[in-house]
Structure 1
């Protein structure tokens, strides 16, 4: 097995801690929010995808599939940090409106500030960048490629569900927001 660098490992665990913090913060902020769940199981699909991607990254590392050198591994560590920052920025910008499941409540509003000026789903963009980085940090471009493809599928499903819920809630405003922003990848999709 190719050794994962200490810095990459520390950054990976910092990302895990940031996700735990997001989970706790969300539970605390939304404990008194009455909302209608519109998730259709997408959160389970995302959590399963996260574990599958990490396992595949580790398997690719173990089998030395798509091995990358130290420079790319360090780039992966930087991408994890960038992705983590994008996600935390998005979660902070949404505040109490951020939820781990697709849900709507009576006080819902369309946030168009911060990262939401550029993309409608920057939290997912942050996770995508993070997982590309995790693959590289684990010394495998194969794992990064798998994560990219898998997350496009997973978040494609989640985005369709979320946008339908938001269009139903804001039929006059949300279509205009869709027209002026990218969905997940700025200026691409």
Structure 2
């Protein structure tokens, strides 16, 4: 019989695969659009590395090796259910954000040729729905993986990326779009609709 722990791990692996399947075509298309401004820095690379490590590498290592076993705890159906719902919501927001951004999308802090300020779809509610999706993924990981190290790693990786980058990203958008972006900031929250 399949354990509930295995179900959570399976959902997490499927979610990670789905994340990459969603991202790949947008990444390919973005390489064809010229970058006209960048704020990429070593700290940006550290944030990206922390997110990848905490939300993919470390949990995958924990699943494959079952290390550290001392950090395991019993899983249950409600936590796997919450984790699954969170991960599905994350992937939906992730896909919608990519679709709305289109040619404006970039993995790092870059302004593309003919960059536009997007305010539709999830951008009508929050300025940074990609980070919203990462937060939902990290929460999903916490509930899906019944290991304290693997579970909390995603939240730590997300936090390093988000808090190390969001202020720079908003300054870049203000520099590029000026009053238009400032007005947009006044009508939206950063990553959690109506709250933050």
Question: TM-score range, shorter-chain basis?
Answer: 0.7 to 0.9
What is residue 168 of structure 1 aligned with on the other side?
175
**TM-score for both structures, normalised by structure 2:** 0.81
Contact kept? 2:71, 2:149, Cα under 8 Å = no
Paired with 1:129 and 1:70, the residues of 2 have a C-alpha distance of 19
Output one character per residue of 1:70-117: Cα deviation in whole Å (capped at 9) or x when no partner. Answer: 311221122111111111111111111111111002301110000001
**Distance change in 2, residues 1:31/1:53 (3 Å):** closer
Determine which of 151, 155, 158 is the counterpart of 2:162. Answer: 155
What is residue 50 of structure 1 aligned with on the other side?
52
**Distance change in 2, residues 1:187/1:60 (3 Å):** farther
What is residue 30 of structure 1 aligned with on the other side?
30
What is residue 14 of structure 2 aligned with on the other side?
14
Paired with 1:75 and 1:25, the residues of 2 have a C-alpha distance of 29
**TM-score for both structures, normalised by structure 1:** 0.84
Q: The residue matched to 2:41 in structure 1 has which SS?
A: coil
Contact kept? 1:60, 1:143, Cα under 8 Å = no
**Distance change in 2, residues 1:96/1:28 (3 Å):** same
Larger deviation: 40-49 or 111-120? 40-49
Paired with 2:84 and 2:67, the residues of 1 have a C-alpha distance of 17
What is residue 4 of structure 1 aligned with on the other side?
5
Matched, 1:39 2:46: no
**Distance change in 2, residues 1:173/1:113 (3 Å):** same
What is residue 136 of structure 1 aligned with on the other side?
143
Larger deviation: 14-23 or 83-92? 14-23
Paired with 1:138 and 1:188, the residues of 2 have a C-alpha distance of 27
Matched, 1:106 2:82: no
Unmatched segments (≥5 aa) in structure 1: none
How far is the alpha carbon of 1:152 from its aligned partner? 3.0
What is residue 131 of structure 2 aligned with on the other side?
124
Paired with 1:60 and 1:78, the residues of 2 have a C-alpha distance of 26
